[in-house]
Amino acid sequence: MNVMMAETVEQRVIRVIAAELKIGAEELVTGRFTLTSAADSLTKRDLIFALEIEFNQDLQEEEAVKLLTVSDVINYYTARVE
């Protein structure tokens, strides 16, 4: 029997960010990656939109500006989803 495992919040965040920024997921898990250094403002808006769709939740601008690293994004959605 093939049982599909549900993705964790961390896996979902990494998948979405990697796809939007067109980089490998391994670059995101090193801990050195920051959203501020990797994305221009248009890309950041696209990324926020993609995360909102993935998690079916609006991300307010005052919250979005606080999300500087992949860990910040993971922690944000972990607190709201799980």
The DSSP result for the chain, as a single string, is ---PPPPPHHHHHHHHHHHHHT--HHHHTTS--BHHHH--HHHHHHHHHHHHHHHT----HHHHTT--BHHHHHHHHHHHH-
User: Does residue 80 carry a pLDDT above 50?
Assistant: yes
Q: In whole numbers, what is the pLDDT of the chain averaged over residues? A: 84
Which residues participate in catalysis according to the annotation? 40
pLDDT, residue 27, reads 82
pLDDT, residue 35, reads 73
- pTM of this structure: 0.83
CATH class of 9-81: mainly alpha
User: Does residue 3 carry a pLDDT above 50?
Assistant: no
